[in-house]
């Protein structure tokens, strides 16, 4: 039978300082991580190294992260990740929360957190439904904005902040070709508006 391993996961977004990334790695090594999966990617993007970690772990192993937000984008995301880790027969420790799913107390904490997250989601959906009903009654409801339009708005905002197409693609989890297409369309629209203003003058 293979020896049990302590496996670390370190993540920062592409815009965070390298020092914070190195600090995570040092902290994971200090608590005995013999292998550390590392990546610099936004939590909303595909996390290839996290997938690799879950594929790598075996029964009896312990996965360690420094903080909750390094691992999961939401409580629902955390519960899904924990389920995948436990399916492999491994456990999870979150150092900042002193949470260890291999202990009875850790399992209880996780269940409480999951219940709170589900309650908050139910309340949010209820408030959303009330807001939509009110907007419909007042004739102000326009429905959900199409995904492509939301992406275009995000891309244009990030371009104005000075981010390059590659960084924007990573941050939003979309293809670089989509960023270039949206940027090109925005430039054409600005030129068309400028030409229209000139003609009106």
Q: Which of 5-19, 30-44, 137-151 has the highest mean pLDDT?
A: 30-44
More reliable by pLDDT, 3 or 32: 32
pTM exceeding the 0.85 threshold for the entire prediction: no
- Look at the chain and count its residues: 201
Average pLDDT, the chain: 81
Residue 36 confidence (pLDDT) above 50: yes
* Catalytic-role residue among 13, 43, 45, 178: 13
3-state secondary structure of 86: helix
- Each residue's pLDDT tens digit, 119-140: 777 788 788 888 888 877 877 7
Instruction: List the beta strands (DSSP E) in the chain.
Output: 6-12, 35-40, 62-65, 91-94, 99-100
3-state secondary structure of 138: coil
178 classed as catalytic: no
């Amino acid at each position: 039978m293979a020896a049990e391993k302590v496996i670390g996961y370190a993540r920062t977004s592409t815009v965070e300082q390298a020092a914070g990334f190195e600090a995570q790695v040092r902290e994971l090594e200090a608590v005995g991580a013999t292998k550390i999966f590392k990546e610099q990617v936004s939590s909303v993007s595909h996390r290839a190294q996290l997938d690799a970690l879950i594929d790598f772990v075996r029964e009896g192993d312990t996965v360690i992260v420094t903080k909750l937000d390094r691992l999961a984008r939401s409580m629902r995301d955390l519960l899904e990740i924990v389920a995948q880790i436990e399916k492999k027969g491994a456990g999870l420790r979150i150092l900042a929360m002193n949470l260890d799913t291999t202990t009875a107390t850790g399992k209880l904490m996780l269940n409480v957190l999951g219940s709170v997250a589900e309650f908050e989601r139910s309340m949010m959906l209820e408030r959303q439904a009330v807001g939509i009903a009110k907007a419909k009654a007042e004739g102000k409801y326009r429905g959900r904005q199409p995904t492509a339009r939301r992406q275009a708005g995000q891309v244009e905002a990030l371009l104005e902040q000075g981010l390059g197409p590659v960084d924007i693609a990573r941050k939003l989890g979309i293809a670089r070709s989509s960023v270039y297409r949206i940027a090109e369309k925005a430039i054409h629209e600005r030129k068309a508006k400028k030409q229209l203003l000139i003609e009106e003058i």
